[in-house]
Every structure is written in C-alpha cells, then in structure tokens.
Amino acid sequence: MAARLKSQEEYATLIDKYDTFLFDCDGVLWNGDAVVDGVIDVLRMLREKNKSVIFVTNNASKSRVDYKGKFDKMGVQATEEEIFGSAYASAVYISTVLRLPPTSKVYVIGMPGLEHELDTEGIAHIGGSDPADNTLEPFKLSTFVKDEKVSVVLCGLDLHINYTKYCKAFQYLRAGATFLATNVDSTYPVDGGLLPGSGALTYVLAKAMGVEPLSIGKPGKTMMDCIKAKHSFDPARTLMVGDRLDTDILFGKNGGVSTLLVMTGVTTEAVLESTTIVPDYVIDSLGDLRVLI
C-alpha cells in the first residue's frame, strides 16, 4: 500500500532519506507550459540541500538542448548532463544497440528535437520536419519512391502528425524496417487537460501492421542505462518522482529505486485506488514540499 504523505514532518523525512531525485517532467514539473505551483522553489531547495537532481522525460518532442532552454527560461538550475529524454535514449539505442551500417537511415515521425538527437549520434534520417512529409495533400502510393536505405522507423510525439507520414512509415515497415517508438504514453498532459500521447500516435502503425513497436522510453531499461552511463548513484538512496504509473513508477521499480507518485498529471485517485503498480509514496503535488523552505 502506498504511503500518502501530507504533513511537513513526513515531507522532511522523505527528503532526508534520499540523495538523488529523478524527476519526470510532463505532469510533475509542468503541464505544457504551465509550471506546477511551488515546483521551482522545491527544486532550488533540493539543490541547496546538495541533493542530485536528474530529469527523465518520455517527451520526445524536445532535445536535451531544448529542455535546457526551457529550464533556463523557467529559472530552474539544470545542466544538459542532468537531462534525459526518450529522444536522446532512442538515438543512443540506435547507435549503440542496433549499430546500423553507416549508409542506413531512419524514417522519423516526430519533431525537430528528435531529429537533433539523431544528429548528435550521427544517425542519418528522413521524414520528421521535411516539408515534403508535412503536407495535407493526399498520399499517392503509385508515385511514392521508397528510400532503400531506410531500415528503421522511429515514431515519437509529433504535434504535426498527418496521413502522409503514416503512409510512408507504413511502407517502410511493410518492407521490413525495424519498428521503434520513443515511448508509448497513452496521453500527453498539457495546461487544461490531456491530449493523445505518443503511444496513441504509434498505435495507428501498430494496428495497421499488427505488431507492437519496441518502446525505448520509460519504463524501459535504456533510459536507466543512459542515466547510469553519466551519473553514479546509490539506488537505496534514490527516488523516482512521476505522474504516470505504467511509465514513471514502473521505471523506478525496474531500476530498483524508491518511487513517489504525484497527482498533478495523468493519474487520478480512481486509477490509484485500483492499480497493481503501487508507488512507495504518494503526494498531491511536488510543489507541496515547499513548506520545508
């Protein structure tokens, strides 16, 4: 049974128990561009207590550099090395696990942030923000010329998704391309509510192909491997803070760290009541810890 923390004393005991804090972003720090009340002060407090702070997001629409810019704008202290996104993890997976031949290419459904992370790993890619793919013109299969170098289809959150992108990705998958997803979150929490998430977008191809993609993001192992490659931490004194049970909390459990669920994102009280993925702790909002300042 999760411990529901409410008192200042319980918050203080929690903070003292851990040295490293892994923070999910969407639904924990912010919803879209709306920062959760009190979060900036809490992150500052943790830094002042010499806690390690690492950000771990499944949102593949931004690169680490993009997120660094978002943190800077918010006035939150963060270095690029403390930021891990599923775009970065997917690029690392392709370069270190798939180890594509140098001439191979990736067909991308996703935003420039994902393309940028592929660039940093030296992975050739097409699709994505290419104007030829960002069209509402009807797709004509009879005139479509496949790029024979494409051996991977990588699908991530794409706020400009369209039928042409799905048709091209589908042709590459039918030709045998490896099917990867940056993450399979069902919904995307933004200011005012929920939007279809990356998992919902990827489902269109999974349904058409009759196969599931390999998902790289939380709760998968690759994200934790990427973090461990850059940071050493004691799992016994590490806390994963997230808003989604089947990604963040499961990611923490898979990684052998403690887990704290916040109720400012996608998880409702009703879902929490019936879940089989039980966090160690639950608080209403990360911002509630500001009473410790």
Ligand X SMILES: O=C(O)[C@H](O)[C@H](O)COP(=O)(O)O
Residue set of the binding site: 24, 26, 218, 243
Q: Which is nearer to ligand X, 14 or 29 (CB)?
A: 29
Parallel/antiparallel/unpaired status of strands 187-190 and 150-155: unpaired
Q: How are the residues of the chain apportioned to helix, strand and coil, as percentages rounded to the nearest 5?
A: 40, 20, 40
Question: What is the smallest separation between the CB atom of 102 and Mg ion, expressed in angstroms?
Answer: 36
Phi and psi at residue 281, to the nearest 5°: -135, 155
Q: Which residue has the tokens 């399979």?
A: 184
10 Å Cβ neighbour count for 225? 15
Q: Three-state DSSP class for 75?
A: coil
26 part of the active site: yes
Q: Give me the catalytic one of 16, 19, 24, 72.
A: 24
Contact set for ligand X, span 190-249 (CB under 6 A): 197-198, 244
Residues making up the annotated binding site for substrate are: 218
Q: Three-state DSSP class for 178?
A: strand
Cβ contact 11:259 at 8 Å: no
Contact set for Mg ion, span 6-35 (CB under 5 A): 24, 26-27
By CB under 6 A, residue 26 contacts ligand X: yes
41 part of the active site: no
The mark string for 227-246 relative to Mg ion (x by CB under 5 A, - otherwise) is ----------------x---
The mark string for 129-168 relative to ligand X (x by CB under 6 A, - otherwise) is ----------------------------x-----------
For ligand X, the binding residue among 189, 219, 252, 255 (CB under 6 A) is: 189
DSSP 8-state assignment for residue 237: G
